[in-house]
């Protein structure tokens, strides 16, 4: 466990460091934040002065060195527009994103696994064919479009759920569903095929021959094995949601999370805020990865700790 | 084998027919097999790969799943059918308890995610209503019975921590958990090293003596059957070719197929024995012709072999399904 943990920490630090390089490079190479901060009619001198003040006129490597040193001290920089530490802004928005992403992925797993299992138990049946079509549908509709469809139907047409913002549980339903449905498609396919695979294994025959009820054969013996690939994909879904889908879904629903914040920060060219968002998300992704690795070791005794 | 009225065999398989309705056609895996097993008896079910031995074993336990179906005949346990409405319920109660099976491949037949004591204990918890603690104690005894060293520690092991031979022992322990009256061993040694094979066979023989259970030993290897079985049933192409006492069948094979099998079996007692395989390959089981399935490969086949041969009784309760049985 010790070596495993140290290895993962080193790996995580390397990943975050690489992300820091990429983030830094892109934010310095693309666009000019000075033009955004200052009014359109600002003079050339004013612009140069601000550039100097922000340190943008120094050699790029020197700037990067300072950036990394500051990071190590916990200084992520100051937002250009809000004039506050970027890290506080990001941390304020994090809980909302967690709420949305965990609700979405949990919902996806809770729908996909039973659906996949039922389909796998009777391959070729009506339920099976329906699950496959549903999965394909979920897969082929983009998040933003799905989100808008759901808003149009439930918020505009029926008027039963709020279209945007954050509040009670009713505000969570549509964005979580939007995040969940494409994941349901992928997870159902994996749950189904992995379950079909497991049901054909010899140990299932042994379990049947024991005389135990069928639900135990399917729901305990085969399912536990079938969940291993589902776990892999769920981790992937969680990472993709944090690092990508959350931006679309939160923006469509004006959900006050890090994704929506990222959208605004990019639009307003708040370079330092964007940098911090990307770094924080990278750290989260690294954490999810480690979490999945630990879960594997809990589920599968064949994977050794260490 | 004789129906003497008062003696009901433990297991009777009568004119059993099993087919698989696949995309490529109907695979007639078992076509009217009949045999029985008395209490405490060891019967060998022998035949080349694909002759329908495993399907017969699974059908006995009620484990034929779609696209497979039992299309005819009967399986009776202690005199009552396991295939009628009441039997389908009953077989669920006796399966794993009175009627147990050990499969061919010990490497894949245990669930990789559970400890031995959980998997073996599950049978005890389910059939005998034991609590977790008692079941675990009993698992240790069972592992000891099947010759697994330091059973208390091994009980906590996962399958991947055991060798193939030990896994097969664990599977035998699982089958023996509820002290069954019949143990079906479906090629229990095929996947194992030669030295381990002998040990597992010895173990089965030993347990059979000790617990007095009946054994159906399924194998493609006549050599395995020779020392162990009281009676032998020889199967080919889903049909029974010959059945009789093991000594009789080995010394005077009545069916050319049995003779061929014997010639292709390595023998330890005859150093000079040359192994000769049977020419040709097993028949395609999709829509096979009604006659003797072995006829196309048989050295002494003649016109009549296109008709299904009846069982021709011979002395000592021996029966041979061949038009030319005892011709000479
Ligand atoms: N699930 C299945 N689907 C289709 N055909 C099967 C199935 N199981 C067995 N068979 C066919 O039934 C025949 C007998 O198989 P089996 O009983 O496994 O032979 P063996 O004597 O080697 O144990 C073979 O032709 C095999 O292909
Ligand atoms: Mg077989």
Q: CATH number of the domain that A203 lies in?
A: 1.10.3720.10
Residue A92, pLDDT score: 93
Q: Are residues A160 and A231 in the same domain?
A: yes
Please answer whether residues B38 and B10 qualify as being in contact, where contact means their C-beta atoms are separated by less than 8 angstroms: yes
Residue B2, pLDDT score: 44
Q: Are residues A56 and A163 in the same domain?
A: no
Residue B49, SS3?
A: coil
Of B135, B214, B171, which is closest to residue A207 (Cα–Cα)?
A: B171
Inter-chain CB proximity B112 and A221 less than 8 Å: no
Residue A239 lies in a domain: yes
Q: Are residues A234 and A114 in the same domain?
A: yes
Q: Are residues A124 and A224 in the same domain?
A: yes
Determine if ligand 1 sits within 6 Å of the CB of residue B59: no
Q: Is the pLDDT of residue B261 over 70?
A: yes
Q: Are residues A112 and A162 in the same domain?
A: yes
C-alpha atoms less than 13 angstroms from C-alpha of B212 in its C-beta half-sphere: 2
A212 touches chain B (CB under 8 A): yes
Q: Are residues A39 and A143 in the same domain?
A: no
Which positions of chain A have pLDDT values less than 70?
A: 1-2, 30-33, 36, 305-306
Share above pLDDT 90 across residues of chain B, in percent, rounded to a whole number: 39
Inter-chain CB proximity A211 and B94 less than 8 Å: yes
Q: Are residues A155 and A206 in the same domain?
A: yes
Residue A24 lies in a domain: yes
Q: Are residues A101 and A244 in the same domain?
A: yes
Residue A10 lies in a domain: yes
Last residue of a domain, one of A256, A279, A295: A256
d(CA A104, CA A178): 8
Determine if ligand 1 sits within 6 Å of the CB of residue B184: no
The residue that leads in pLDDT, B266 or B237, is B237
Last residue of a domain, one of A256, A275, A300: A256
* Full residue range of the structural domain in which residue A215 is found: 97-256
Q: Are residues A175 and A240 in the same domain?
A: yes
Interface with chain B: mutation pick from A209, A229, A300, A302, highest number of B CBs within 10 Å: A209
Domains contained in chain A, number:
2
Sign, CA torsion A215/A220/A223/A226? negative
Q: Are residues A123 and A213 in the same domain?
A: yes
**Mean pLDDT (chain B, rounded):** 85
Q: Are residues A191 and A242 in the same domain?
A: yes
Q: Are residues A235 and A104 in the same domain?
A: yes
When mean pLDDT is compared over B87-91, B147-151, B288-292, the highest value belongs to B147-151
Inter-chain CB proximity A202 and B108 less than 8 Å: yes
Residue A243 lies in a domain: yes
Contact residues for B149 (Cβ-Cβ < 8 A; gap 6+): none
Number of other CB atoms surrounding residue B181 within 10 Å: 21
Inter-chain CB proximity A206 and B100 less than 8 Å: no
Last residue of a domain, one of A222, A237, A256: A256
Residue A128 lies in a domain: yes
Say whether pTM exceeds 0.90.
Answer: no
Residue A277 lies in a domain: no
Nearest-Cα distance to chain B for A284, in Å, is 30
Residue A208 lies in a domain: yes
Report the complex ipTM. 0.85
Ligand 2 centre from B54 Cα, in Å? 4
Residue A82 lies in a domain: no
Of A93, A94, A77, A95, which is closest to residue A24 (Cα–Cα)?
A: A77
Q: Which chain B positions have a beta carbon within 8 Å of A206's beta carbon? A: 103, 109-111, 171, 174
């Amino acid at each position: 466990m010790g070596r495993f943990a140290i290895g993962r920490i080193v790996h995580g630090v390397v990943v975050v460091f690489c992300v820091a390089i990429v983030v830094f490079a892109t934010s310095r190479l693309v666009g000019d934040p000075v033009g955004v901060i200052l009014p359109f009619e600002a003079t050339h001198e004013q612009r140069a002065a601000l550039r100097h003040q922000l340190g943008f006129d120094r050699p790029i490597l020197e700037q990067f060195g300072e950036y990394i040193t500051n990071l190590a001290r916990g200084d992520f920089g100051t937002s250009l527009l809000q004039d506050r530490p970027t890290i506080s802004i990001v941390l304020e928005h994090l809980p909302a994103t967690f709420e949305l992403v965990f609700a979405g992925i949990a919902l996806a797993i809770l729908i996909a696994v039973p659906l996949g299992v039922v389909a796998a138990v009777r391959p070729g049946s009506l339920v099976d064919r329906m699950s496959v079509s549903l999965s394909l549908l979920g897969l082929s509709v983009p998040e933003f479009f799905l989100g808008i469809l759901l808003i149009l139907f439930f918020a505009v047409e029926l008027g039963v759920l709020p279209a945007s913002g954050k509040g009670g549980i009713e505000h969570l339903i549509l964005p979580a569903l939007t995040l969940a449905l494409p994941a349901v498609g992928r997870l159902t396919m994996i749950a189904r095929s992995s379950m079909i695979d497991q049901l054909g294994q010899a140990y299932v025959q042994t379990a049947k021959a024991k005389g135990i009820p069928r639900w135990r054969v399917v729901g305990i013996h085969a399912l536990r094995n079938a969940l291993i690939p589902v776990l892999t994909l769920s981790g992937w879904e969680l990472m993709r949601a944090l690092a990508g889908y959350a931006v679309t879904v939160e923006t469509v629903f004006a959900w006050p999370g890090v994704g929506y914040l990222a959208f605004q920060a990019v639009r307003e060219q708040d370079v330092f805020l964007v940098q911090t968002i990307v770094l924080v998300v990278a750290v989260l992704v690294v954490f999810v990865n480690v979490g999945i690795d630990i879960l594997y070791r809990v589920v599968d005794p064949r994977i050794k700790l260490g | 084998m004789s129906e003497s009225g008062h003696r009901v065999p433990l297991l009777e398989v009568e004119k059993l027919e099993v087919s698989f309705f696949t995309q490529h056609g109907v695979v007639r895996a078992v076509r009217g097999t009949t045999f029985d097993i008395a209490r405490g008896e060891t019967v060998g079910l022998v035949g080349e790969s694909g002759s329908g031995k495993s399907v017969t074993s699974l059908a006995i336990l009620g484990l034929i799943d779609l696209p497979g179906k039992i299309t005819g005949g009967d399986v009776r346990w202690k005199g009552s059918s396991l295939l009628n409405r009441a039997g389908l319920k009953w077989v669920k109660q006796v399966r794993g308890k009175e009627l147990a099976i050990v499969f061919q491949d010990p490497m894949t037949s245990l669930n990789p995610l559970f400890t031995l004591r959980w998997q073996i204990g599950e049978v005890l918890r389910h059939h005998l209503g034991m609590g977790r603690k008692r079941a675990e104690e009993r698992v240790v005894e069972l592992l000891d019975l099947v010759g697994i060293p330091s059973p208390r520690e091994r009980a906590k092991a996962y399958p991947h921590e055991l060798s193939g031979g030990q896994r097969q022992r664990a599977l035998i322990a699982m089958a023996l958990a509820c002290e069954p009256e019949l143990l079906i061993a479906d090629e229990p040694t095929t996947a194992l090293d030669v030295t381990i094979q002998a040990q597992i066979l010895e173990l089965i023989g030993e347990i059979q003596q000790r617990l007095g259970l009946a054994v159906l030993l399924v194998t493609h290897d006549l050599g395995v059957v020779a020392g162990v079985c009281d009676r032998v049933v020889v199967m080919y192409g889903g049909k029974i070719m010959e059945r009789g006492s093991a000594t009789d069948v080995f010394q005077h094979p009545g069916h050319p197929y049995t003779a061929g099998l014997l010639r292709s079996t390595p023998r330890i007692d005859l150093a000079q024995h040359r192994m000769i395989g049977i020419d040709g390959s097993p028949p395609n089981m999709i829509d096979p012709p009604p006659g003797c399935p072995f006829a196309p490969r048989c050295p002494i086949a003649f016109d009549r072999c296109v008709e299904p041969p009846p069982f021709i009784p011979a002395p000592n309760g021996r029966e041979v399904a061949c038009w030319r049985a005892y011709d000479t």
